[in-house]
Amino acid sequence: MRNTAIYLAAAMALLCLAGCHKKERCQVSIGDARFHVEPNSAAYSNLNSVGGYEYFVGGHRGVIVVRMGINDFAAYERTCPQDNTTAVVVSDDWGSTVLECPVCHSRFNAYGNGEPLTGSATSCCLYQYYCNYDGRTLYVSN
């Protein structure tokens, strides 16, 4: 009886782990995305508030930086993982929370590590760059 309970608990744990994994990350072309900006400056007024975003040169097809919180940022490669030739944009319908490929219409959750939303043509996440914010300067890197 005790062994059965142990096996049952182990099986449930494995099922939970199998169901809780992130979507796969496909190979996409990325380039050098090392840059820094002051997101609270007038030069980047779209990043001055939570939910704001800016497009930057860098990476393969560019980088989108989204301000997730007062001190929290996310930076994504704009290359769509479905075809590697198209740049994703901020969705006209959903704002900075959703990034969308204008060709295959895959949509990605900017607040969810770039994971594709249900109904997307790809099961792959957007490539996410590293962000480090010291309270004044945001550093983005590969």
85-136 pLDDT, tens digit per residue, is 899 999 878 777 899 999 999 999 999 999 999 999 999 999 999 999 999 9
Range of the domain at 119: 24-141
The tens digit of pLDDT for each residue in 19-46 reads 333 445 577 878 899 999 999 999 999 9
Q: Give the model's pLDDT for residue 8.
A: 36
Coarse DSSP helix, strand, coil percentages of the chain, rounded to the nearest 5 percent: 15, 30, 50
- Look up the pTM and report it: 0.80
Q: Domain of 113: which CATH number?
A: 2.102.10.10
Answer whether residue 3 is part of any domain: no
DSSP 3-state assignment of 45? helix
Residue 12: inside a domain: no
Q: Is residue 16 part of a domain?
A: no
Domain membership of residue 11 (yes or no) is no
Number of folded domains in the chain?
1
Burial grade of 63 (CB within 10 A; 0-12, 13-18, 19 or more): buried
Q: Is residue 2 part of a domain?
A: no
Closest to 98 in 3D by CA, of 90, 53, 106: 90
**29 part of a folded domain:** yes
Instruction: Confirm whether 124 is domain-assigned.
Output: yes
pLDDT in tens, 81-98: 998 889 999 987 877 789
Would residue 106 count as lying in a domain?
yes
